[in-house]
Amino acid sequence: MTDINSRKADHIALASEAKHQAAQGSGFDLLRFEPNPLPQMSLQDIKLDSDFLERPVAAPFLIGAMTGGCNNGELINKHLAEAAQACNIPMAVGSQRAALESGMPQAARRCAPSAILLGNLGATQLQHHGLDLARRAVDAIEANALVIHLNPLQELIQPNGDRDWNGVLEAIQQCAAKLSVPVIVKEVGSGIGPTSAKKLMGAGIRWIEVAGRGGTNWASIELDRNGSEREREVAGPFIDWGMDTVEILHAVHAACPTLRLIGSGGVRNGLDIARCIRLGAEMTALAQPFLAPALISTEAVIEKISVLEEQLRWAMFLTGSERLSDLHLAEINGPASIGL
Ligand SMILES: Cc1cc2nc3c(=O)[nH]c(=O)nc-3n(C[C@H](O)[C@H](O)[C@H](O)COP(=O)(O)O)c2cc1C
């Protein structure tokens, strides 16, 4: 197994463990919708459908990036892609770097001929191979958009991780200008704050996935893989690095109202999806919650999607929101720090 493949296999095993979920949560529990005990509608009339990347989707959430294909990564992606196709939910594949380097076939498009599929590469991989690699990632799965992930803390903790981040913004800008599909920039669990969001907008980015703190904790996973005593000491203060998803989503939406946002990082149920929509996200993404069902079967992933849809429908019913546009306006109370 190559180094990248064995790292990805470790990630899949460790991400399933509860101890690598952020201890303090994403802040969702502090956000409470005002209950509306007079919904004045029937549950069955509630509409979850929405548009994403100019295409209709069944609900405003997507399967977050996890694997581009390694050992059991191929089977995971097959289950996820078949479910995405069956439910008309978009799916993001994980980093395609290893598959592109090894020439391994990427089955996601074959399993999901008409679903929205998002490609994925790390930002530092684009510094040197740039546009050509990005085009190959898009072509390999006929992606509807390319997601570029920013993960500087994870790279610092990983042995041999990328520590030279010069030229990353320029590489992103070049992809945004030259690729035939939109570019979405995401973090992996520390969040993209308003200052970086503005820089990304200046580089031509129209969509970001915030991936704030509160869900899967990559610092914790990387340290568990092979942190030496010294690495543990250095990384210790950064174990909770970042901003909570709720805090960061609110801050980015306030600072960049025209930027299109995917809420992610610790989104765990349909009520969290509703909270993200209320905070200004047009779409949301869940990664880790799809891992366990994806290890089982396509049907298990379909069942997970159906539960999330039902929870979102309940949240809409209980706030008297017949459409997602009504949910944007639902009364909500939250921490003073975000002015709600
Ligand atoms: C097993 C696993 C593998 C991941 N691999 C990638 C990846 O290759 N590329 C990427 O952009 N994000 C990757 N992520 C990060 C997720 O897409 C997401 O941003 C992060 O886990 C926070 O969301 P969550 O709390 O819903 O898991 C991975 C997450 C998991 C759980």
- Distance between CA 155 and CA 138 in Å, rounded? 24
189 Cβ closer than 6 Å to some ligand 1 atom: yes
pLDDT greater than 60 at residue 231: yes
* 95 in contact with ligand 1, CB cutoff 6 A: yes
% of the chain at pLDDT higher than 90: 81
Nearest to 277 by CA among 238, 206, 230, 330: 330
Residue 8 pLDDT grade (very low, low, confident, very high; cuts 50, 70, 90): confident
Statement: residue 46 has pLDDT above 70: yes
Spatial separation of the C-alpha atoms in residues 13 and 157, rounded to whole Å: 18
Judge whether residue 70 has pLDDT over 80.
no
**Which is the closest atom of ligand 1 to the Cα of 94?**
8
Whose CA is closest to atom 2 on ligand 1? 66
By alpha-carbon position, which residue is closest to atom 28 of ligand 1? 66
* Domains of the chain and CATH, by start: 3-338 (3.20.20.70)
Stated as kind and residue range, the H or E segment containing 168 is helix 168-178
| pLDDT given for residue 150 in this prediction | 98
What residues contact residue 93 under an 8 Å CB cut-off, 6+ apart? 65, 66, 67, 68, 77, 106, 108, 117, 118, 119, 120, 141
Looking from the CA of 302 toward its CB, the CA atoms found within 13 Å total 11
Instruction: For ligand 1, pick from 66, 118, 185, 273 the residue to mutate: most ligand atoms within 8 Å of CB.
Output: 66
pLDDT reported for residue 160: 87
pLDDT at 71 over 70: no
Q: Tell me how many degrees the CA angle 266-272-273 measures, rounded to the nearest 5.
A: 105
pLDDT of 283 reads 98
Mutate to test the pocket of ligand 1, among 71, 209, 288 (most ligand atoms within 8 A of CB): 288
Tally of residues, the chain: 340
Distance from CA of residue 49 to its chain's centroid? 19
pLDDT score at 268? 97
Taking 90 as the threshold, does the pLDDT of residue 198 lie above it? Answer: yes
The CA 130 to ligand 1 mean position distance, Å, reads 22
What is the distance in A from the centroid of ligand 1 to the CA of 297?
Answer: 19
Ligand 1 within 6 A of CB of 286: yes
The rounded Å distance from CA 180 to ligand 1 centre is 25
What is the whole-number distance in angstroms between the Cα of residue 63 and the centre of ligand 1? 10
CA of 48 to the centre of ligand 1 (A): 25
pLDDT of residue 212: 97
* Ligand 1 touching residue 73 (CB < 6 A): no
pLDDT digits (tens, 9 = 90+) for 199-230: 999 999 999 999 999 999 998 998 888 778 89
pLDDT of residue 1: 55
For residue range 95-115, list pLDDT tens digits in order.
999 999 888 888 999 999 999
| Chain segment 252-294, per-residue pLDDT in tens | 999 999 999 999 999 999 999 999 999 999 999 999 999 999 9
Mean pLDDT (whole number) for 149-163: 94
* Residue 52: predicted pLDDT: 98
Least confident of 3-17, 57-71, 192-206: 3-17
CA distance 336 to 217: 26
Q: Higher-confidence residue: 11 or 264?
A: 264
What ranges make up the beta strands (E) of 58-154? Answer: 61-63, 91-92, 117-122, 145-149
Q: What is the pLDDT of residues 108-139, one digit of tens each?
A: 999 999 999 999 999 999 997 789 999 999 99
Cα separation of 215 and 260, whole Å?
Answer: 21
Say yes or no: CB of residue 266 within 6 Å of ligand 1. yes
Contacts of 151 (CB under 8 A, 6+ apart): 122, 123, 187, 188, 218
Residue 137's nearest CA partner among 146, 129, 128 is 146
Ligand 1, atom 20, lies closest to the CA of 188
E-only strand ranges, 191-328? 207-209, 260-264, 283-286
Give yes or no for residue 294 CB within 6 A of ligand 1. no
State how beta strands 117-122 and 145-149 pair: parallel
